[in-house]
Structure 1
Amino acid sequence: MGSLAPDSMVRRVYRCMCGINPGLEAPTASAKTGAFAASGVSREQLVIFLADTLRGTAEERAPLIMAMSQCGTEAAAAVTCEQVAEFLRDLISTVIQIVVHRGRLQGWQPERMGDGSLGVKLLAEQMCSELKPSDQGFCDVSSLEDFIFRVSQISLYLEMLVAEGLNVSLSGRPTPTLLPPCRETPWKELRCLLDLPTIMFLAPQLPDRYSAPWRLVFSTQLHGESFTRMVAGLSKRGPTLLLLKDTKGHVFGGFASHAWEVKPQFQGDSRCFLFSVLPRLRVYTATGYNQHFMYLNQNQQTMPNGLGMGGQHSYFGLWLDNDFGRGHSRARPKCTTYGSPQLSGDEDFTLDSMEVWAVGKPPEPEEGEEGEGKRSILDVDPEVQAMMEMAGKTLHSQGLREPEEEQEQ
């Protein structure tokens, strides 16, 4: 396990195993930190630990997470939110190490992406925001049960830690996927706003989850600060994820469930959402108050020109003006469409950088349109052509088809 997990995580697992009382099938609350090293872990303790972490219920896993959150302290009947956050930071770091070392990056390149260590802290804090401690600020076993039940990632990450770290194969269970495929991304020229923990947080919120590839269709780094170029990049791309960074360092964005259309009406549906990455990782879904999900307009005299999500004209939850450098996030106190607070550092912000990722299944070419690289089977496979000729088949289309145009110079 030490090759995949930080030392602190290995100690947490070892301490948890040593604290298991085979008679009670859970770590005992009276166990002392230093009492384990001499005796080591028994076969029964290991079996119980594997059974509960890999196939256990929330009720069976809660005492284990309690024990692992108390690493380096005397065992107690409750833990603080900060202790749980420290455990989650170790757990998320381990999972990312597993993804990297096992070659499951799916085309992502962490060295060309955002600060992963900051992303780990933000994801741990986001998961902890689902904790419901007592009035005194402590979490007992029942509150951890509720936490595990509601935040499914905890069980998934725990299973990965144990299965991969202790090399225990689970027959019939597929290897978990934490990252969607990344395609067609010019990494050499790019310093991406995303990091792995942020993708691990956002991907499960999308309709296609991990199945559809993410494709970068616009970046200010690559394409410059041009509203027209951005509109061209996101048109006819299906669902997209917009990511903005303002000059105050806030990172935020929105998910558009439909392909964007330039028109003076709202579009989209309730699958759209807004989100923040910095200073906090959060998703804000549709409230049902109105249907102002997406708006994109250009070159109109009577209607606002720009890109907006949520709220209303002049008071969008997220707005980027068509002069591109300026935008606003107005929420007093919350955006009516998504229930989001102000996402940017200032209500009226100045844009630092932006990325647009196509995150749905690539749309089919429209009828009558030649798809990119769409060719006859005779062009794709000359062997088929040769075999047909040898068999005496007449190639009726050969003289009728337009010759292949040369690729762009």
Structure 2
Amino acid sequence: MGVAYSVGEVDHLYTFFVQWSPDIYTKGNKKNRKPRYLIREKHQKHYLVVEKDISVINKNWEIITVKDSKRRLSLCGSEGSEAEEPEYQEEVDDVIPILSDHSQLLEDHHLVRLAAHMPARTQGYPWQLVYSTAVHGSSLKTLYRNMADLDSPALLVVKDVHKKVFGAFVSDPFKISKYCYGTGETFLFSFSPDFQAYRWSGENSYFVSGDLESLRIGGGEGVFGLWLDADLYHGASISCPTFHNAPLSTHEDFIVQDVEVWTVQY
């Protein structure tokens, strides 16, 4: 007899298998893969993914391989050399997320790092800015309202007054809920100063919860991996059982400078 699973349960199982058997579920058979290229607009950050070479393109565009694009971005976004590249190059098998709007917080080198941890179901789709403190003001209520009709993963990016950039990828859009929601795809990340991603530990399922007073990601034992108040002004980040994360900023309590929330466009 077969067993039926919901989409959320399937995502949860996939994340579990990726976490415990990455050699099987993430790398795949490279010999059978089609070569992929990026069409990149010169001097811009816009990319179009293609799976075959294109002989005729606009003079303002150039064709580069996915591998080459990542090498360029890693060199631009790091003070190190190509020797640092193997740490993540082999794991980043899909292109960087394509942003449909300009980000004031994310640079290409941020996206390259994040791409290695994004679930497969998000790869190849553009990301749309749905909330920004610079555009919409500092209000958690507005953040919820802007996501009310969405049903897709979200990327929360925070920059504090100490210029540290960090945040969370969540499997479900932010909403007001009495109970925790989300799946094991959810993870915390920080670029303070080097990139770190904190995936689900499996210890509990306190992925995301929120009300009009605060937004909370990760939890257990009375602490939160990432906490933001109603005005998106005060925040906190403490090591929590859900992710076994280090504090995402250089201070456990911090003042927010900017917030952006992106969602994938299926």
Q: Match of 2:257?
A: 352
* Change beyond 3 A, Cα 1:325–1:117: farther
CA apart distance, 1:123: 10
Aligned counterpart in structure 2 of residue 295 of structure 1, from 205, 209, 212? 209
The residue that corresponds to 2:147 in the other structure is 234
Distance in 1, Cα, partners of 2:135 & 2:80: 27
Mapping 1:146-185, distance limit 5 Å: 151-152=89-90, 178-183=95-100, 185=101
- In structure 1, the partner of 2:9 is none
Counterpart residue type for residue 306 of structure 1: S
Deviation per residue, 1:227-274 (Å, 9 max, x gap): 211111233322100000111121100011012331121110111000
Query: 1:123 and 1:228 mapped to 2: Cα distance?
Result: 44
Q: 2 CA distance for matches of 1:215 and 1:119?
A: 23
Given residue 181 of structure 1, which amino acid in structure 2 is its aligned partner? I
Judging changes above 3 Å, is the alpha-carbon distance between structure 1 residues 260 and 200 closer, same or farther for their aligned structure 2 residues? same
* Count of residues paired in the alignment: 206
1:277 aligns with 2:191: yes
Residue by residue over 1:105-151, the C-alpha shift from the partner in whole angstroms, topping out at 9 and shown as x without a partner, is 238xxxxxxx99763348979756x4xxxxxxxxxxxxxxxxxxx85
Q: How far apart are 1:204 and its partner, in Å? A: 3.5
CA contact (8 A) 1:204 1:210 kept: no
For residues 301-380 of structure 1, the aligned pairs below 5 Å read 305-312=213-220, 314-331=222-239, 335-359=240-264, 361=266
Larger radius of gyration: 1
Matching residue within 41, 46, 63 for 1:105 = 46
Residues 75 and 82, structure 2, Cα contact 8 Å, conserved in 1: no
Q: Report which of the two has the higher share of helix.
A: 1
Match of 1:193 in 2: 105
- TM-score by length of structure 2 reads 0.67
Query: 1:178 Cα shift?
Result: 2.3
**Kept after mapping to 2: 8 A contact 1:227/1:322:** yes
Q: Deviations over 1:312-334 (max 9, x none)?
A: 37510100011321010012xxx
Choose from 122, 141, 161 the match for 1:247. Answer: 161
* Between structures 1 and 2, the one with greater strand share: 2
Secondary structure of the structure 1 residue equivalent to 2:109: helix
1:219 lines up with 2:177 in the alignment: no
After the TM superposition, which parts of structure 1 deviate over 4 Å for at least 4 consecutive aligned residues? 115-118, 122-128
Partner SS state of residue 201, structure 1: helix
Separation in 2, partners of 1:116, 1:218: 27
Instruction: State the Cα distance separating 1:338 from its structure 2 match.
Output: 1.0
Q: Aligned partners of 1:101 and 1:349: how far apart in 2? A: 38
Match of 1:232, SS state, is helix
Does the CA-based 8 Å contact 2:122-2:264 persist in structure 1?
A: no
Q: For the structure 1 residues 118 and 227, does the alpha-carbon distance in structure 2 shift closer, same or farther, using more than 3 Å as the test? A: farther
Per the alignment, residue 117 of structure 2 pairs with 205
Q: Relative to 1, partners in 2 of residues 1:102 and 1:345: Cα closer, same or farther, differing over 3 Å?
A: closer
Distance apart, 1:180 and its partner CA: 3.0
User: What TM-score, normalized by structure 1, do the two folds share?
Assistant: 0.45
Gaps of 5+ in 2: 1-29, 32-36, 49-72
User: Is residue 252–residue 278 contact of structure 1 (8 Å, CA) maintained in 2?
Assistant: yes
Secondary structure of the residue aligned to 1:228 is: helix
